[in-house]
Structure 1
Amino acid sequence: PPNSGLWTTGLCGCTEDCPSCWCALCCPCVLVGRMANILDQGMTSVFTGAAIFCIVQWFTGCGCLYSCLYRAKLRHKYGLPEEPCNDICTDCWCNCCSIAQAYRELRNRNINPALG
């Protein structure tokens, strides 16, 4: 596995995984749901994670606060730094990029989030 203390791709590394980037841009709830399922070790279904993201986004416009929770879980699990700034700022200012980066990180660590 990659070095535990470093991200395997940058925040704007979308060219390294175009399908995930497009999904994060067009339907971020899918990737957030998949990450929730993996990072909660199956306790949150893909559908539930995606639905919570959608509900929070639709009613408050702050789905980034929900996806931020999973970025933080991922960082803690692998000892990753808060880059380029803290999780809330990263997710609120660059939500699609942040979701795509976290999804790539799981894949680069040989975890296939698409399998749920």
Structure 2
Amino acid sequence: MYPTMDEPETYSDYGRTGYVPPNYGTPHVSSAPPTFMTHSVMTPQWSTDLFHCVDDPSLCLVTCFCPCFTFGRIAEIVDKGNPTCGSSGLCYGLLAPTGLACLYSCNYRSRMRAQFELPEAPCMDCFVHFCCEACALCQEYRQLQSYGFDLSLGWEANAERSRRHGVTVAPGIPPGMMR
């Protein structure tokens, strides 16, 4: 309820002008200048965990039975439309029987992480793709969706939609910072 004389008041915003401590009823006005909190720059995080594949059952099924479709859509967005979804998916499909598709897709995970400043989590990109290819592809797909991309539309339609709504296509790059 009310702090006793023995208990110090510990409020993070206590020195701020106009701050109302809980259960006090009247605003507290301090004679001290307002304190400004500095915000540390936080590293962006993955929107979902690696093993949340079943959060989107249809994506999970498509990725398990035909990962080339999911990969193609991811690659088109990461590559900004060149090559297209179809050609990236075809290349993945041709590499799949050789077992090298996970190395190909791991390259795109690394590029996506660099583009959006995501951490290498839960472990190295190649290890993630080697051990759980479908989960990795689903996580990357969901991450791009969390940035507002509709992967079924492709790069050009997403870019056009962003221009119409005045949204930056690459959320990881602040405006004016491109060359």
Common topology (TM > 0.5): yes
**Greater gyration radius:** 2
Percent identity of paired positions between Structure 1 and Structure 2: 35
From 104, 107, 124, the counterpart of 1:86: 124
**Greater fraction helix:** 1
Which residues of structure 1 form unaligned runs of 5+?
none
Structure 2 match to 1:36: 75
Q: Which structure's relative contact order is higher, taking Cα pairs within 8 Å and 6+ residues apart?
A: 1
SS at match of 2:152: helix
Which segments of structure 1 move beyond 3 Å, counting only runs of 4 or more? Answer: none
* TM-score normalised according to structure 1 size: 0.92
Which segments of 5 or more consecutive residues in structure 2 lack a partner in the other structure?
Answer: 1-41, 155-179
Letter in 1 for 2:96: Q
Alignment partner for residue 61 of structure 2, among 22, 34, 39?
22
Note if contact 1:37-1:46 (Cα within 8 Å) is conserved in structure 2: yes
The CA deviation at 1:4 is 5.9
Q: Distance in 2 between matches of 1:64 and 1:18?
A: 22
2: CA distance between counterparts of 1:35 and 1:93?
Answer: 19
Give secondary structure in 2 for the equivalent of 1:100: helix
Aligned residues: 113
RMSD: 1.3
The separation in 2 between residues aligned to 1:84 and 1:111, in whole angstroms, is: 23
| Alignment check: 8 A CA contact 2:44 2:117 kept | yes
